[in-house]
Amino acid sequence: MTQGTPGFSNADDAGDWSGFDVDVCRAVAAAVLGDADAVNYVPLSTTERFTALQSGEVDILSRTTTRTLHRDTALGLNFAPVVFFDGQGFMVREDSGIVSAMELDVVDFFAANGMDYAPVRFERAEEVLQAYDAGQCDVYTSDRSALAARRLLMAEPAVHLLLPETISEEPLAPAVRHVILPQAMRIILPPPATQYLSLAKNTSLAAAIAFPEIIAIVAGTTLTQTGQALDSLSKCRGAKVLKTLGGWEDGAGSISAFVVRGP
């Protein structure tokens, strides 16, 4: 989790977490463990997040993290499908008179005039927010979703302006450690998938997720092709998520419907 980003992952005074990234974790717990509440949320800074995942301190990184080729390969991570498309933006105070990111040519100005500058670095997101809100910084840059969320935490949110430009594309996705499944799994998985569907076929849940259609489409293809039964398992896990968290209409912000319909 982040250390506090409203709308994505944020803990209230009672220590209860909520937000989009939190719902991703709850959906995974519901699908894998059958219990959406079987999650231990660990707040991590930007510099801590990948080390925590690589070391096994956390099992899944659901923390407004951009999926990149480098992270997907060199860091030994596997990214899930993208769940949110974001982009880097800028926030300034309205009384600064700045209305476009094109006016933020500070680095070019220093270079052109042979001037040195010293960037001020912070370890934690709340330290950056406090420094900007206190007037130590003139511009605050981050993902636009984060800027909008953290503006709500400032003393006077209305006096801060998000500039219209977006200077990058940030596909946010959960990540896990890279695991190479043994080849034997390609033989082990299909029989349990078949058995699971057979046991569930006469239940009301199976009727709700259109079991006949699953059998008609899947039984003749996925379940008989070694190594492709994972598709059937994903349908079963999706049903678990739907049963545990509900859908958009009855889940009040749950992402379970997205998980069921997603790739």
Give 29-70 as a DSSP string: HHHHHS-TT--------TTTHHHHHHHTS-S-B-SS-B--HH
pLDDT for the residue numbered 223: 42
pLDDT classification of 162: cutoffs 50, 70, 90: very high
Q: What is the mean pLDDT of residues 93-106?
A: 83
Beta-carbon contacts of residue 23 (< 8 Å; ≥ 6 apart): 245, 253, 254, 255
Q: Which residue has the higher pLDDT, 195 or 86?
A: 86
> Is the CB of residue 84 less than 8 Å from the CB of residue 146?
no
Structure tokens of 30? 């519901």
Q: Which residue has the higher pLDDT, 48 or 104?
A: 48
Name which of 47, 38, 41 is nearest 62 in CA terms: 41
Express each pLDDT in 227-243 by its tens digit. Answer: 444 455 565 666 666 66
Structure tokens of 146? 């984060």
pLDDT for the residue numbered 256: 37
Express each pLDDT in 35-78 by its tens digit. Answer: 888 999 998 888 889 999 999 899 999 988 888 888 888 888 88
Q: What percent of the chain has pLDDT over 70?
A: 64
Helix ranges (DSSP H) in 40-161:
49-55, 69-73, 106-112, 125-133, 144-151
Assess whether pLDDT exceeds 80 at residue 249.
Answer: no
pLDDT classification of 110: cutoffs 50, 70, 90: low
pTM assigned to the model = 0.64
* Cα angle 61, 67, 68; round to 5: 130
pLDDT for the residue numbered 109: 63
pLDDT for the residue numbered 160: 93
Express each pLDDT in 180-228 by its tens digit. Answer: 655 555 555 566 656 656 665 555 555 555 544 444 444 444 443 444 4
Name which of 51, 33, 34 is nearest 42 in CA terms: 51
What domains sit in the chain, N to C, each tagged with a CATH number? 10-85+172-177 (3.40.190.10), 86-170 (3.40.190.10), 185-261 (no CATH)
Within 10 A of 89 (CB to CB), how many other CB atoms are there? 23
Structure tokens of 216? 């008609």
Number of Cα atoms under 13 Å in the Cβ half of residue 192: 11
